[in-house]
A and B are shown apart, each in its own frame.
Chain A
Amino acid sequence: MSVLVGTDTRLCVSGITGSEGSFHSLNNRAYGTNVVSGVTPGKGGQDVDGIPVFNTFHAAVEASEANTAMIFVPPPFAADSILEAADAGIGTIIAITEGIPAHEELRVYTQIKRMPGVRLIGPNCPGVLSPGKANVGIIPASFFKEGNVGVMSRSGTLTYQIGNELAQKGFGNSSIVGLGGDPIPGTSFVDVLELFENDDQTELIVMSGEIGGDAEEVAAEYIAEHVTKPVVGYIAGFTAPPGKTMGHAGAIVSGSKGTAAAKAEALEAKGVRVGRTPTQVAEIAIEILGG
């Protein structure tokens, strides 16, 4: 198996008629993802290289039986689009959009959590790739092959770096999940740990964290209690100064909280090995799996 996206994914893309939206929708389709529809208000009835476009998510779901949404619209409209997808009955919503205002993100997060069966991944994330099955988002799929390592990360390009190091050592991936760099991600490390723990294909879990917030610390507690599969960690931002935002809105160290050192320590205290460089993460993976 794999997690979140796979062969049963039926994808509907919000913002499919935009330049980025159409480019990546077609890329995802070329990879083998079943892209069944798109939504752009006012452009219903058109198509993007054969993919039908609808005015609303409700119409798209009714006509195309979409079960997964990718959100590619600009920040002022993204929160609304996520809520529309959820209201239309879509279960897995993957939001690529970067720069959604924090208060809106918080309201959307709260609402989605109250809707059973609906999961939001992102916003501000590169998407989810299950090699050999489906790619939803902007992860460059050609660098990854099918395998037994599950990867989850708060950063896009760092995911590629770590995934590539693993690939060079001969490892493939069950799924690669981009959680996103925002302060309130819809899906956290803990949520994906649960999915990977229950996924037959996944034998090792790699989590790539970064400074800011307490998601890594919470994950460390969860791993100790609930995860039987080996987990290898990585934390970016050891050299980041406090009070400065390092690109991601979520990557900010305030006071003594959220530092890379504190996160690495929290993970190691629970028996999770933490690589100090992406290369070291791959080396630890080999030791564990016997590469």
Chain B
Amino acid sequence: MDLLEYQGKQLFARHEIPVPSGIPARTVDEAVAAADQIGYPCVVKAQVKIGGRGKAGGVKVAANADEAREHAEAILGMDIKGFTVHELWIEEASEIEAEYYAAIVFDRSARAALVMLSTQGGMDIEQVSAETPEAIATLHVDPLLGFQPFEARRLAFDAGIDADLIRPIGDFLTRLYETFIAEEAMLVEVNPVIITPERKVRALDSKVTLDENALFRHKENAALRDPSDEDPQEQMARDRGLTYVKLDGDIGILGNGAGLVMSTLDVVAQYGGSPANFLDAGGGSKADAITSAVEVICSNEKVKAVLFNIFGGITRCDEVANGLIEAFASAKPSVPFVVRLDGTNDVEGRKILADANLPGVYTASTMNDAAEKVVALAKGESL
């Protein structure tokens, strides 16, 4: 789960990482009141989960209340790379002498946390990484030992940090690592880390991604989830315990097991079709899960045909067939379905479907056959 800048900074503050003070605002009036409280000059910052806000005009300095109002009006509701600005962060203005970059990422390939530090902050770090990779000092942390002070010093020296800042930057990195571990983050990134004229170190920005699997023991963080962030169908699926990802096409897909569903999307694409979604009904798909899945898939108006691809292991094909009959009774879908049932109790499942004789439901014997049929149906061809 990604956090907004200010949510990340509040997390940092809990772990004693120095951040400029600020107040979140959802309306223009709230923004002006916040700015008055913080004092001028202050910065009005769009809160969206995407980089490049500054270039898009989403970060502005206000010298007085009129400017704060003007900026808040302009930025609230602004579209930044497809993300609408619903929230602002009004922050005290910082004096900047230098801009650094610091990040810790969960590096699955190396099976360790990767700590990164660079004096080339404030700009696109991917560009720095591509053009001058030596400008970024990196180090993997032993997961059982944790981040050691000598490692922080080594990184700081390697990055070419000024001598008087070696210790403060080391402390900063140590606290960032503490945050990464304590909050169970997959990424904590600060770009820029600023050095003030008084030679103080501060986090001027934050990018934090948390591990969804660990949210059960971080209630405060779990509460930061914003339902308005999500696509309505994805939200509906989450509420019903299904794994659903919306795609651009017109063929609804349901399967059991993530790998099989991914494979089904690929096979449909190979037959010239375009999947409308990924939906994993889970390892032990029961009848009510199937009903929910049909409702979620068909709530996407672009869907012209639906493919059910089930290979029963724990999942029983007769349960899936009964679920489909219930779904047809309650949701009354108006698009054709192609159903392929294989695996546990497949004979029973196919018989239940044949006996029910549901309108617009076609069966297929293999995955390829099913894909071919659903693609034809989505194109309006008859079988």
- B and A form one assembly: yes
The answer to whether A247 and B144 touch (CB under 8 A), given A76-B217, A101-B213, A156-B283, is no
Residues in chain A near residue B311, CB distance under 8 A: 157, 160-161, 164
Residues in chain B near residue A213, CB distance under 8 A: 108-109
| Those of B172-215 within 8 Å (CB) of chain A | 181, 184, 186, 211-214
Q: Is residue B349 contacting chain A, with contact meaning CB distance below 8 A?
A: no
Residues in chain A near residue B79, CB distance under 8 A: none
Cβ of A102 and Cβ of B214 under 8 Å apart? yes
| Those of B265-321 within 8 Å (CB) of chain A | 265-270, 275, 278, 280, 283, 311-315
A111 to B109, CA, bound (A): 17
Cβ of A181 and Cβ of B259 under 8 Å apart? yes
A239 to B251, CA, bound (A): 13
Cβ of B256 and Cβ of A211 under 8 Å apart? no
Cβ of B262 and Cβ of A236 under 8 Å apart? yes
Chain B contact residues, majority secondary structure: mixed
Cβ of B270 and Cβ of A277 under 8 Å apart? yes
Residues in chain B near residue A183, CB distance under 8 A: 106, 108
Most buried by B among A76, A161, A208, A214: A161
A181 to B283, CA, bound (A): 13
Q: Which residue of B lies closest to A247 (CB)?
A: B258
**A interface size (C-beta, 8 A):** 56
CB distance from A22 to the nearest CB of B (A): 14
A87 to B311, CA, bound (A): 37
Cβ of A250 and Cβ of B263 under 8 Å apart? no
Q: Is residue B342 contacting chain A, with contact meaning CB distance below 8 A?
A: yes
A111 to B142, CA, bound (A): 11
Q: Which residue of A lies closest to B271 (CB)?
A: A277
Indicate with 1 or 0, residue by residue over A85-103, a CB within 8 angstroms of chain B CB atoms: 0000000000000011111
A101 contact from B211, B266, B367, Cβ within 8 A: B211
**B interface size (C-beta, 8 A):** 50
The answer to whether A76 and B216 touch (CB under 8 A), given A106-B112, A107-B144, A160-B313, is yes
Most buried by A among B214, B247, B265, B311: B311
Cβ of A99 and Cβ of B258 under 8 Å apart? no
Indicate with 1 or 0, residue by residue over A186-211, a CB within 8 angstroms of chain B CB atoms: 00000000000000000000001011
Most buried by B among A111, A159, A160, A276: A160
Q: Is residue A147 contacting chain B, with contact meaning CB distance below 8 A?
A: no
The answer to whether A103 and B258 touch (CB under 8 A), given A213-B108, A277-B267, is no
Cβ of B266 and Cβ of A237 under 8 Å apart? yes
Q: Is residue B368 contacting chain A, with contact meaning CB distance below 8 A?
A: yes
B257 contact from A111, A157, A244, Cβ within 8 A: A157
Q: Which residue of B lies closest to A113 (CB)?
A: B111
Cβ of B262 and Cβ of A101 under 8 Å apart? no
Cβ of B181 and Cβ of A240 under 8 Å apart? no
Q: Which residue of A lies closest to B260 (CB)?
A: A157
The answer to whether A250 and B213 touch (CB under 8 A), given A154-B259, A240-B265, A277-B368, is no
Cβ of A211 and Cβ of B262 under 8 Å apart? yes
Residues in chain B near residue A227, CB distance under 8 A: none
Cβ of B258 and Cβ of A278 under 8 Å apart? no
Indicate with 1 or 0, residue by residue over A126-165, a CB within 8 angstroms of chain B CB atoms: 1000000000001110010000000001111111110010
Cβ of A110 and Cβ of B270 under 8 Å apart? no
B111 contact from A101, A110, A238, A251, Cβ within 8 A: A110
The 7 A-B pairs of least Cβ separation, nearest first, read A155-B259, A247-B258, A157-B257, A158-B259, A101-B214, A236-B262, A157-B260
Binding site for A on B (CB under 8 A): 106, 108-109, 111-112, 142-144, 181, 184, 186, 211-214, 216-217, 243, 245, 247, 255-263, 265-270, 275, 278, 280, 283, 311-315, 342-344, 366-368
Question: Assuming A111-B144, A154-B259, A159-B259, what are 14 further A-B pairs, CB within 8 angstroms?
Answer: A75-B216, A102-B186, A106-B106, A109-B111, A126-B313, A155-B262, A158-B260, A160-B311, A160-B313, A236-B259, A244-B278, A248-B258, A249-B213, A279-B366
- Could you jot down 25 A-B contacts, CB within 8 Å? A100-B213, A101-B214, A101-B217, A102-B184, A102-B214, A103-B214, A104-B214, A154-B259, A155-B258, A157-B260, A157-B283, A158-B260, A158-B263, A160-B313, A160-B343, A184-B108, A213-B108, A236-B262, A236-B266, A246-B278, A247-B259, A249-B212, A260-B266, A277-B266, A279-B367
